[in-house]
Amino acid sequence: MNIVLRTRSTLAIVALIAGTLAGGAGFATAGEIKVNLSGDQEVPPVQTSASGSGTITVDDDRSVKGTITTSDLKGTGAHIHEGAVGKNGPDIITLKKSSDNEWSVPGDAKLTDAQYDAYKAGNLYVNVHSDANKSGEIRGQLKRDLGAGSR
């Protein structure tokens, strides 16, 4: 009986350690971010019916991939920029227009170490430009989810 209890206790401890390590590793790694773009996130805010959404993934090797889909917008350009919420910043990755309302990260896109640090701090955003709003009509901040089980 003691052996069974000891084995169960050991297994429980091993499971707890494995879960903690997996959770810790997940916290430290990059991952997939769901992003929603709107005019009110622009700086200054833009009144528009346009919107966008998509997924951007930043891997541990700093490579970036993803797609943004827009609606009610004739986009003329799209970029990932470096900049905190409420601040504008330089574009660092130019997205490719894959259809009338879809933009994709180029296959060779990669962040520098400084840009990766900005990403981890929540200081990157996606911006879609139009003829009416050349500096950007809709914007969405790339915010990592640091909750339990996030990547």
Give residue-wise pLDDT tens across range 53-102: 999 999 999 999 999 999 999 999 999 999 999 999 999 999 999 999 99
pLDDT at 63: 97
Phi-psi region of 58 (alpha: psi -120 to 50; beta: other; left: phi over 0): beta
- pTM of this structure: 0.77
* pLDDT-derived band at 144, boundaries 50, 70, 90: confident
pLDDT at 146: 62
Phi-psi region of 94 (alpha: psi -120 to 50; beta: other; left: phi over 0): beta
Higher pLDDT, 111 or 12: 111
User: What secondary structure letter does DSSP report for 98?
Assistant: E
Residue 101: exposure state from Cβ atoms within 10 A (0-12, 13-18, ≥19): middle
Asked whether the predicted pLDDT for residue 135 surpasses 70, the reply is yes
Dist CA 41 CA 78 (whole Å) = 15
Q: What b/e string do you get for 123-138 counting C-beta neighbours within 10 Å, with b at 16 or more?
A: bbbbbbbbeebeebbb
Q: What's the pLDDT tens digit per position in 110-126?
A: 999 999 999 999 999 99
